[in-house]
């Protein structure tokens, strides 16, 4: 895409979100940074202003799980000079825990944040995003939106559904000016990971990326023609195997189950 982006980026102050903001800034004329922490948003905006002095920046401290928070984002997006032509739904939460131990509140928080909030924000922003000649929505999911994994049941459910939402909306809007894409990172080194998750990844030898790797993959997705991009090898292979021969993945994860259970039962938040 040309350097004329009007970006709305959610989850901007997280590790992946900040990396995406830095990667998109040189391509953008305007950027709306959305997150819950006003101070961290201001610090990131200041950094981007130094990086790209001509970039028009807006920040909105908002809880996207609330209608007021989403309304504030829509109102601010309307003020972007030249309008918005890229929405990156990056905000997300997770929790390593055994499903039977997980609280109702934790399950609701994960599903609302990872699925319902981006769906409702997309619907609210559709009139704005349909105005430009070309526009994009990128929903940031996860490899665990393709591979159901013990210890991450609610998280997997939310990301599977986000991928389905992306696919269905892309087909509903086919032939129009608004393109809908899906980016699926593998494990990434961010503060989102609890100590239990970090320990589990280390014991299982799970490869983890820096946030800048995810940001570069998003740029590649924008520059290419593919509707989905899955990050990492052999993770992309596992996605294909899970779709064609899920019993092989069942067997592999069964062998790891005692290790996963041990860490998940340490990581649960009541």
Q: Which residues are catalytic?
A: 155
Give Cα separations from 72 to 12, 32, 245 (angstroms).
Answer: 15, 11, 45
Reduced to 3 states, what is the DSSP secondary structure of residue 140?
strand
Round to whole Å and give the CA distance between 105 and 109: 6
147: which 2 tokens?
């591979």
SS3 content of the chain, % helix, strand, coil (to 5): 55, 15, 30
Measured between its terminal Cα atoms, the distance across the chain in Å is 44
User: Which residues, listed in sequence order, are joined to residue 31 by a DSSP beta bridge?
Assistant: 7, 57
DSSP code, position 270: -
φ, ψ of residue 156 in degrees (nearest 5): -60, -45
Inter-residue contact 134 to 179 (CB < 8 Å) = yes
98: which 2 tokens?
């055994």
Residue (of 167, 182, 176) closest to 134 by Cα position: 176
């Amino acid at each position: 895409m040309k350097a004329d982006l009007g970006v709305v980026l959610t989850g901007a102050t997280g590790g992946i979100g900040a990396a995406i903001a830095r990667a998109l800034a040189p391509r953008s004329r305007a950027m709306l940074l959305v997150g819950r922490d006003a101070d961290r948003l201001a610090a990131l905006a200041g950094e981007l202003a130094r990086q790209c002095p001509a970039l028009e920046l807006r920040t909105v401290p908002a809880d996207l799980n609330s209608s007021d928070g989403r309304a504030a984002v829509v109102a601010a997006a309307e003020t972007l000079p030249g309008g918005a032509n890229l929405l990156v739904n990056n905000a997300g939460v997770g929790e390593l825990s055994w499903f039977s131990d997980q609280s109702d509140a934790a399950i609701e928080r994960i599903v609302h944040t990872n699925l319902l909030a981006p769906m409702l924000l997309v619907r609210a922003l559709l009139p704005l995003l349909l105005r430009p000649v070309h526009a994009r929505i990128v929903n940031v999911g996860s490899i665990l939106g393709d591979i159901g994994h013990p210890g991450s049941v609610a998280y997997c459910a939310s990301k599977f559904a986000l991928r389905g939402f992306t696919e269905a909306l892309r087909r509903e809007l086919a032939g129009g000016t608004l393109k809908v894409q899906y980016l699926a990172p593998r494990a990434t080194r961010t503060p989102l990971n609890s100590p239990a998750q970090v320990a589990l990844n280390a014991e299982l030898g799970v490869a983890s990326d820096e946030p800048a790797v995810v940001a570069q993959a998003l740029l590649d997705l924008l520059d290419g023609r593919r509707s989905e991009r899955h990050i990492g090898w052999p993770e992309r292979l596992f996605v294909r195997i899970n779709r064609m021969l899920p019993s092989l993945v069942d067997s592999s994860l069964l062998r790891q189950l005692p290790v996963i259970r041990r860490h998940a039962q340490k990581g649960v938040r009541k």
